[in-house]
């Protein structure tokens, strides 16, 4: 890798003190960047201290400056050498941090959070924050170590199993434990990729290899059957909030289990005749090939748009977010709208003896399960849900297979 690191006197601007700023210069692939070192010198001082010291035995402040610059150059070269391919952004991040940051869990979590916010992945950033808070509480309460001082080396297999026991004792589900430990695993992998920590301390893997195995979560059925869907559709609502919640829940269901974020992002320009097309926000950045999803409008979904849609028929279809909102504002508005729908759909469910856990997420699972019951293939459903793999789609049908087997067994002696 052809790069060069050097200390230069930036003579492009003479400062008021009659000196020039001393800077670190990084050069790679015909591109250079200069970094301030908060040090000023005259040309004579720079020559004596750095370029060609006339006095080999510098004393006092001059010697301190020389040693400081030598340490900077040494560290800059070390950080650059650790990169397989030189990258200015990564170089800057690694150079201008404390030496202890490379082994610091909080530092790497903050890097991931900042990166996700920068890429408008506010929900992912929030997930990292939740994980960080949980790890911080455990580290402080059970290990007497504040999160600011928690290192990767401290998180070994025993530490992780202690954390798991702590979470269970505090009423947390294995689903939550799985999510948080998977997020922590990503942070470990990020630190290894940056050459900040050694692979040797990686604690995740198979239990038989004496590693920490992230727990699987019990698959819970989150779908309404046909009779429950009919009951919900025909349920009387006691106010406009409940009516709106039911309308948007079934809009999601009727649009192939469309996520509420995608509903919020839907624009009138996406609608052509009796259909609309969109890209699923959750998977758009992850996939190299962008798959457009086509949804055919029905009388029901057209009715929801007519009743709740933006009346000027421009911009976003529904008044959930505004075109001027930044990514953080959009995230907060969509989150609040989702909570609003969930709160009111639960009230309808309670009044009609339907599952109390129902949420907008159930609309997506209900679409998948009832499509299968109506004879649709898993391949068709997988494409409709925009899943990357059939195995993801199969996870939607927890509990469905056993129910179907029971119905089939009971029908074997029915010869009519």
Range of the domain at 64: 3-95
Domain-embedded: residue 221:
no
Q: In this structure, are 80 and 106 located in the same domain? A: no
Count H helices and E strands in the chain, helices first: 17, 6
Q: In this structure, are 260 and 403 located in the same domain? A: yes
Residue environment code for 287-300, b if the CB has 16+ CB neighbours within 10 A, otherwise e = eeeeeebebebeee
Q: How far apart are CA 34 and CA 39, in angstroms?
A: 13
Q: How far apart are CA 228 and CA 36, in angstroms?
A: 66
pTM for the full predicted model: 0.70
Domain-embedded: residue 215:
no
Helix ranges restricted to H, 266-312: 281-284, 299-308
Q: In this structure, are 81 and 157 located in the same domain? A: no
**In degrees rounded to 5, what are phi and psi of residue 37?**
-120, 10
Tell me how many domains the chain contains: 3
Q: Which of 47, 63, 95 is the last residue of a domain?
A: 95
Q: In this structure, are 31 and 56 located in the same domain? A: yes
Q: In this structure, are 197 and 317 located in the same domain? A: no
Taking Cα atoms as reference points, which of 133, 124, 127, 216 lies closest to residue 178?
A: 216
Q: Which of 181, 209, 237 is the last residue of a domain?
A: 209
At residue 194, the pLDDT reads 86
pLDDT averaged over consecutive 10-residue blocks of the chain (416 residues)? 88 93 93 93 91 71 90 90 85 84 95 91 94 97 96 97 97 94 97 92 95 80 87 96 97 92 95 89 61 90 96 92 93 96 97 95 87 74 68 60 55 55
């Amino acid at each position: 890798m052809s790069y060069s690191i050097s200390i230069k006197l930036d003579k492009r601007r003479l400062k008021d003190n009659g000196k020039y700023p001393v800077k670190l210069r990084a050069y790679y692939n015909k591109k250079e960047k200069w970094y301030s070192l908060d040090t000023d010198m005259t040309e004579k001082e720079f020559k004596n201290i750095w370029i060609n010291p006339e006095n080999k035995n510098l004393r006092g402040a001059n010697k301190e400056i020389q040693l400081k610059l030598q340490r900077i150059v040494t560290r800059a070269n070390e950080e650059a050498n650790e990169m397989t391919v030189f990258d200015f952004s990564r170089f800057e991040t690694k150079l201008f941090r404390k030496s202890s940051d490379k082994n610091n869990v909080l530092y790497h979590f903050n890097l991931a959070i900042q990166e996700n916010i920068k890429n408008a992945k506010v929900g992912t950033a929030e997930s990292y924050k939740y994980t960080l808070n949980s790890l911080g509480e455990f580290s402080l309460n059970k290990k007497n170590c504040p999160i600011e001082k928690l290192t990767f080396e401290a998180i070994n297999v025993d530490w992780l199993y202690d954390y798991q026991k702590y979470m269970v004792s505090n009423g947390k589900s294995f689903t939550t434990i799985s999510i948080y430990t998977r997020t922590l695993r990503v942070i470990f992998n990020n630190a290894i990729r940056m050459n900040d920590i050694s692979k040797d301390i990686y604690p995740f893997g198979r239990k038989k290899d004496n590693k920490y195995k992230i727990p699987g979560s019990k698959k819970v059925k989150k779908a309404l059957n046909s009779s429950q869907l009919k009951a919900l559709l025909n349920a009387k609502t006691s106010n406009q909030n409940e009516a709106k919640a039911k309308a948007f829940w079934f809009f999601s269901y009727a649009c192939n289990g469309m996520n509420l974020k995608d509903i919020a992002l839907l624009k009138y320009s996406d609608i052509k005749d009796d259909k609309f097309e969109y890209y699923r926000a959750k998977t758009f950045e992850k996939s190299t090939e962008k798959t457009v999803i086509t949804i055919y409008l029905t009388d029901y979904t057209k009715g929801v748009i007519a009743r709740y849609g933006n009346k000027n028929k421009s911009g976003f279809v529904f008044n959930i977010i505004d075109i001027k909102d930044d990514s953080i504002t959009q995230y907060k508005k969509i989150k609040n709208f989702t909570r609003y729908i969930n709160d009111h759909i639960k009230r309808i469910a309670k009044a009609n003896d339907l599952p109390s856990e129902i949420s907008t997420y159930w609309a997506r699972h209900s679409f998948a399960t009832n499509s299968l019951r109506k004879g649709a293939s898993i391949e068709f459903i997988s494409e409709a849900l925009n899943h990357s793999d059939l195995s993801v789609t199969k996870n939607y049908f927890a509990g469905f297979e056993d129910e179907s087997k029971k119905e089939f067994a009971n029908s074997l002696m029915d010869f009519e």
